[in-house]
Amino acid sequence: MEKYRLLKEIGDGTCGSVYKAINLETNETVAVKRMKRKFYFWEECMNLREVKSLRKLNHPNVVKLKEIVRENHELFFIFEHMECNLYQLMRDRQSPLTEAEIRSFMSQVLQGLAYTHKNGYFHRDMKPENLLVSNGTIKIADFGLAREVMSKPPYTDYVSTRWYRAPEVLLQSSSYTPAVDMWAIGAILAELFTQSPLFPGESEIDQIYKICTVLGTPNSSIWPEGMNLPRSFNFRLFQIPPANLSEIIPNASLEAIDLIGQLCSWDPLRRPTAEQALQHPFFHVRTWVSTDLQDPFVPMPHQTGAKPKLELNLWDFGESDDCFLGLTLAVKPSVSNLGVVDNAPHNSGEDIIFCSGYQDHSRQSVFWPLVSPNCDVNGVPVMSSLPSPYMVNSHSSHTAIGVPESSAFCVPALQPNLLDGHLFGPMMTLSLPIQQGHYFQ
């Protein structure tokens, strides 16, 4: 340890104390965790769960263990240095975290947790103090209670800080799963909005009571296996209906409330995994593409006249439950007279203007054939590139919106996945209904 100089103590726990230090050889600032117990053999150091897990894990959102030093029967862990933990960040802020900041932090934590679970470990002590923050980056730390996913039960029920302890642990289940980490993530997510713990129990019985006041008392339909756990008789003491999470966390969006509700489910089988949580709409709202695609019809020197422009826009029309994202794909003409693109093969499906979601007509999708004004509309070739369920023709009985009947044809929006992977790739999807239109100027 002679190459490290300890500067100040920055944390103290049951197993060890953490110091800010400097590497005298490289001038790098590090964090040194000094274990409180003595270690007389190197093998017992290497068998520590914290050592075994951190030696295996290498992820941007998992704190990096740089070195292990044993000196005079004392054990030191050398970690990368982070500015503060999430609890300190919340405590020292003058204003609450914005939802965008919360989304960024929780996305990073879930990525680190998904990686940890995938590589065979669950943390068992997720809490704000064990999430380290520096320059907008957050990392999972303190793997002292980590356990192998494939290890055999029974497991101890004395894990995690009480406020973030999953109900199956509180009720003395001996075979819990990585879902205990997901319960803690839900409690942390709620705390980031409210700046106070969601379940601040003062004892284990009071902890169960606090959970009941928020989630309501469970029963055999809500959590069948939980009714048979050793301490399930405690539920008889608390017959409480569930509270409204939106009233408890008023500054959270509906997407955040839904995610918290899923993570904090009584039944661990109903909680999403870390990978599933990352797919929740909370992490995929308010997407905005402000720049149109480049014009694919830029005239070549030997070509004359302007060609239509292909535009792709993604639109966000608010926070309605039934619509998060709208999509329009259209050909915006560069000249006043529309004509079929000369070099596009017939029956390719490329000579089509597509639009959906006009005001008050959001249950229809409208197709305009790109034909010249003098062309016979009835002679437009069938679009053979469309899958058979979407084959349409100009004799449809539906009425087009905003254009004469003779120049458009419609299909009801009964096949919402028209653009999903068939023509334009998996990244383009169609969401209906959309409440605003006016896509063509």
Catalytic-residue membership of 125:
yes
pLDDT at 385 over 50: no
Mean pLDDT, the chain, rounded, equals 75
Most confident of 35-39, 65-69, 308-312, 389-393: 65-69
Predicted local distance difference test score (pLDDT) of residue 92: 92
Using one digit for the tens of pLDDT, what is the confidence trace for 74-85? 999 999 999 999
The alpha helices in 49-170, defined as continuous H runs, are 49-56, 86-92, 99-118, 167-170
Lowest mean pLDDT among 44-58, 282-296, 362-376: 362-376
Decide which of 168 and 238 is more confident: 168
- One of 1.10.730.10, 1.10.10.60, 1.10.3720.10, 1.10.510.10 is the CATH number of 84-283, namely 1.10.510.10
Distances (CA, A) of 8 to 3, 19, 23, 35: 16, 5, 14, 16
304, amino acid identity:
T
Alpha carbons 265 and 40: distance in angstroms, whole number: 44
Alpha carbons 74 and 69: distance in angstroms, whole number: 8
pLDDT at 94 over 50: yes
Distances (CA, A) of 160 to 135, 143, 363, 439: 27, 11, 50, 53
Query: Which residue of the set 92, 125, 267, 316 is catalytic?
Result: 125
pLDDT at 239 over 70: yes
CATH of domain 4-80: 3.30.200.20
Alpha carbons 251 and 256: distance in angstroms, whole number: 10
Most confident of 38-47, 229-238, 303-312: 38-47
Using one digit for the tens of pLDDT, what is the confidence trace for 206-237? 999 999 999 999 988 999 888 888 777 777 77
Alpha carbons 278 and 185: distance in angstroms, whole number: 12
Domain ranges of the chain: 4-80, 84-283, 287-441
pLDDT at 24 over 90: yes
